[in-house]
A and B are shown apart, each in its own frame.
Chain A
Amino acid sequence: MAKNRRLHALPLLLTGTCLLVAGEGSSPTARLTQALRAQAPAMGLGMLDGLRPGAPFRDRAGATHVRYQQTYRGVDVYEGVLLGHLDAAGRMAAPDPALQTGIDLAPATLLPEDRIRSIVARDLPAEGRTWPMACKVIVFPTRFQGGITWRRDARGYLKVDPRFSVGTPRRPEEYRWAYRVSAMQAVAGGLQATEYVVDGLSGEILRKWDGFQHGSASAQGTGYSQYNGTVAIDTTQEAEGGPYSLRDSLRATKPYPDPQGTGWPEWGGVGFQTVALDLSPLPANPSGTLPYLEAQNVWGDGGRFHWGLDDPMGVRGETAAVDAHFALGRTWDYYADVLGRTGGIDGEGGSPISIVHMPDADGSAWDNASWSPAWFVMMYGDGAANGSLTCLDIAAHEMSHGVMSYTAGLNTGEAQGLNEANSDIHATMVKFYLWGAGGKGAVVPDATTDPVLPDAELWSLGAQASPTGTPTRWLYRPSKDGLSPDAWFDGIALEDPHFSMGPASRAFYFLSRGASADPAQDTASAYLPAGMAGLGNDKAIRIWYHGMATKVADPHTDYRGLRVAMVAAAEELYGAGGPEAAAVRNAFAAINVGAPQGGKEPVQVVFPEVPHSPFVYPKVLVAPALEPVKLPVPRVANAADTGVEWSLGGLNVLVASGGHLQDGWFTAPMVSEGYGWPVKAASHEDPRRFAVDMVFGVGMDCDSDTETDACDLGALALANGGVNVYPAANLYGSARGVDDICLELFLEGFRNAFNP
């Protein structure tokens, strides 16, 4: 059987000179596609593989970039992507592939879709209403199968997150026919979108993950917004003489793309729309939303909407809708006029939907906002501690998640944090663009004039929605929130992406504004003590967007990969060896990623992956309680002294008591639940450089005879048989049954403790 390979580097055949793409008269995409198909064998693709082009993106230099979805027998291949390029003269440049090669799957009769839906429905928590689910057949590389995820619980401890965890032994096959299913459900905490991959033959759930990325006839109407004053908003008169709706068909020129194929919402049309949620029972309103209609095309009253007091469809409800609608229009213009992305989120003018007044499932106000790539929708809550989360930077943040879905598509691990940072960065630029240039022109200014705001306020997120004006995040100094790191370290992916994003946001700040040489300043970096000069907003954002749109092919790109992409983008836009590329190197060096311009590679501490780790983050080590387990030895590069200093901690989580760390061996105490212990290994030579890993300690004495042995696995298997004979109290609390996640943890912990 062919080996499972992911092609990241092309052979010389493609990386040498550029190829002139023939086919005069056809579209650039068609010519590029034709040329790439001719080169498919060199990229490891076979006769049954295909490449389906997405929307082309033409940059300011005239080059065209197209993101291709890999197919096999006409079916999409999970995480199979190819980024193709044509320069302004129509010559093909070396593409950036992230392809799945060696697929060898025979046609098969798959389980019917309704059975797949029932499997997913059974897996969803028995909570609120669910939306119709659509299934799509895909080819799934089994190396992405399974995986346990974690979260910081309400108390601050690292715990397993069963909502998005799959505990199942990895399959020996390299690829499987599977279904991709997108589920949406009302749950405690708001709406929850969950993405599933289900084996098409066995019905086994292979992977699942959070489907949300959080952030928290044309007419022009007048909107009285809460955050932006009185504004002009683009609306639509639904019929001659009829009411107006919050539908903007000037910018979005194609219908809702309906990625689920469900026809939702059935009243939709061309133009991005701002609507309210309607949780009335099915099938009274299958769309689950209600359009805003207004006879005079005058909307809202500028007052804050109070959840539970004000009518979401009334004038105060309209106010929040005005803010969301206005912000999306300004963000759309920023992408079009500054960055050349005229087609909005999908690059083709597809109409997204903004849903305001999203409640928590318990009926209270929802303190968040989100983008769902599977549903092509943005959602806004009205805030418990905050006002409606529809202010300019939050809305721009969510739309930028949408653009990310159709450009670099970053997800998983460090890439999730980079995705969040990308949204905050563009949101900040939108503020400069609107308040400094009136939302006009092709340049992002370096200061605002209306209103005039200090840098500290502009380079932060969410201040408008906060009653106290305190932002949620600070791009120039992420650690001001008390949770986010200011610099990269190996293991940063263990943090929530809204914290692991911090260094990337800070790097962009340095790239634009520079870094101070005064260590007392918030804008100074210990990794670049001499500081650096910035390029200004306009250059910085052009480099950033060009890098994301044209240089990042792999959805799992990490901080180091992003640095490579951004240096390449700067060199392409402004020339190799120039101050722009140097500034990129310095900005990343200032967050502990790579060497500064002209400097030497810094000391780097990196943990190896743990073979067979059942966690999504492949370095997590599972340790049975009371059994010493040897931690992976980190690799210390670029140092004469490769020794490390071990300590507990290193992440912004509570460290549970009782964990014992000595000389690279860890012993977990007997625990009543599974806990994650962060362990830190700092370089002896340069203690500023360190790596953090997680040891997950579990109690495995399932029959309570004070020993951990293979018979405990039997006790666990017995409990998992649905009879709850042994509740396995040491694993997940006394009143709960166990599932395959527990079995995976047991087997991994057993292997680590007892197989030398």
Chain B
Amino acid sequence: MKRLSLLLAFPVLALVLGCTAGNSTPQAPAAQAMTYTDPVTTPSDWKLVKDPSSTPTRLVLDLVGPSDGTRYRGAGFTLRTDTTQVHYGRFPDYLGNPTAYHGDGGVFLDRDATGSWDVAPRLQASGIKGDRLMVGIFQDTDDQAWSLAWGSPIDGAKARTCSTVVLRIALELDASAHPGTVALELLKARAIPENVGTVVDRKMVAIPVKVGVLDLK
């Protein structure tokens, strides 16, 4: 009820102000830039940190894994934000067309060291629905099967340490955005551990990704 009263009062107040100024209704100043404060983390954390390529109107965030030597076969997450303030930015896909909602960090490979042997496919997916961004990069590890067929595993289809950038996402400032803090809510994050298939629970693991703070100014 109190909210309704305020809403009703606002047009009246605006009308008064307009008459006083002898001008159109003033608008709140639009935000001009995004600032992102990296989260505080430990070496075993997954985190979203600001990429140096960021600009005031395009914030690039890097998903970086733990630096404790743990190896994985891929990771992904679902993020929600206020899409009336910012929108998800695109990256070039493997053909160079700006269709993807993620950039590849290059941790997972689809060729071996010689560049000619295919290892298992590097699977990448990103997409948006409403205010949610879904993104992930995984290695379709198949070294066991290749090994069975030809007697030796193919280098490159191995689990990888993820202490460098696994993938990138981007947030772009809307022209109508207004200053303030924008929520970045990580709804779900999963990774495939190296020892999958031998661990007891045999599941993808939840990874608590530390997320920083996004302010519009």
**Chain A residues within CB distance 8 Å of chain B:** 115, 118-119, 122, 168-169, 172, 199, 201-204, 627, 703, 705, 707, 709-711, 713-718, 720-723, 725, 740, 743, 746-747, 750-751, 753-756
Contact = CB atoms under 8 A, between A and B. Distances in A.
Interface stretch (B14-22, B46-54, B185-193): B185-193
Contact of A725 (B74, B144, B196): B196
Given A122-B149, A754-B129, 11 more contacts: A201-B116, A710-B77, A711-B134, A711-B190, A718-B73, A720-B120, A721-B144, A723-B202, A753-B129, A755-B126, A755-B127
From A168, A202, A204, name the one whose CB has the most chain B CB atoms within 10 angstroms: A202
Contacts of B103: none
Given A115-B150, A711-B190, A756-B128, A717 B139 contact: yes
B199 to A, nearest CB: 9
Interface in B67-81: 73-78
Contacts of A721: 73, 120, 140-142, 144, 196-197
B145 interface: yes
Nearest to B139: A717
B136 A713 contact: yes
B78 A709 contact: yes
Contact of B140 (A710, A743, A754): A743
A722 B142 contact: yes
Contacts of B184: none
A740 B123 CA distance: 11
Nearest to B157: A721
B99 interface: yes
Interface string B105-129: 0000000000011101101011111
B204 interface: yes
Nearest to B206: A711
From A703, A714, A747, name the one whose CB has the most chain B CB atoms within 10 angstroms: A714
A720 B204 contact: no
6 contacts: A711-B134, A711-B190, A717-B138, A718-B196, A747-B123, A751-B127
A168 B121 contact: yes
B95 interface: yes
B192 A118 contact: no
A222 B74 CA distance: 72
B145 A714 contact: no
Contact of A740 (B76, B121, B126, B197): B121
Contacts of B149: 118-119, 122
Given A711-B76, A714-B192, A725 B142 contact: no
A169 B73 contact: no
A178 to B, nearest CB: 13
A717 B74 contact: yes
Nearest to A627: B129
B140 A740 contact: yes
Contacts of A750: 125, 127
A714 B76 contact: yes
Contacts of A713: 76, 123, 125, 136, 138
Contacts of B189: 711
Interface string B134-168: 11101111101100011000000000000000000
B42 to A, nearest CB: 23
Contacts of A722: 141-142, 144-145, 197
A710 B192 contact: no
B120 A755 contact: no
B118 A718 contact: no
A743 B144 contact: no
A203 B197 CA distance: 26
Contacts of B144: 721-723
B70 to A, nearest CB: 16
Nearest to B78: A709
Contacts of A725: 196-197, 202-203
B94 interface: yes
A736 to B, nearest CB: 15
B108 to A, nearest CB: 10
B74 A753 contact: no
Contacts of B94: 172
Contacts of A172: 94-95
Contacts of A740: 121, 140
A722 B94 CA distance: 27
From B127, B189, B202, name the one whose CB has the most chain A CB atoms within 10 angstroms: B127
A715 B125 CA distance: 13
Nearest to B145: A722
B121 A714 contact: no
A692 to B, nearest CB: 28
A489 B153 CA distance: 49
B126 A710 contact: yes
* A-B interface, 9 closest residue pairs, ranked by CB to CB distance from nearest: A754-B127, A723-B197, A710-B136, A721-B141, A717-B138, A709-B134, A722-B144, A710-B76, A711-B190
B141 to A, nearest CB: 4
From B117, B134, B150, name the one whose CB has the most chain A CB atoms within 10 angstroms: B134
B93 to A, nearest CB: 10
Nearest to A720: B140
B204 A718 contact: yes
Nearest to A119: B149
A717 B73 contact: yes
Contacts of B73: 717-718, 721
B118 A714 contact: no
Given A710-B76, A723-B197, A725-B196, A717 B123 contact: yes
A740 B140 CA distance: 9
Contacts of B188: 705, 707, 709, 711
Interface in B28-53: none
A748 B201 CA distance: 30
Nearest to A204: B118
A390 B139 CA distance: 52
Interface string B190-214: 1110001100001110000000000
A202 B117 contact: yes
A710 B135 contact: yes
Contacts of B204: 703, 711, 714-715, 718
Contacts of B126: 710, 755
B113 to A, nearest CB: 14
From B74, B140, B190, B202, name the one whose CB has the most chain A CB atoms within 10 angstroms: B140
B191 A714 contact: yes
B107 to A, nearest CB: 14
A746 B134 CA distance: 14
B77 to A, nearest CB: 7
B127 A753 contact: yes
A711 B136 contact: yes
From A168, A713, A750, name the one whose CB has the most chain B CB atoms within 10 angstroms: A713
Contact of B138 (A204, A707, A714, A723): A714
A90 to B, nearest CB: 49
Contact of A714 (B116, B142, B190): B190
B106 to A, nearest CB: 17
B192 A717 contact: yes
Contact of A755 (B99, B192, B202): B99
A725 B204 CA distance: 9
A8 to B, nearest CB: 25
B136 A714 contact: yes
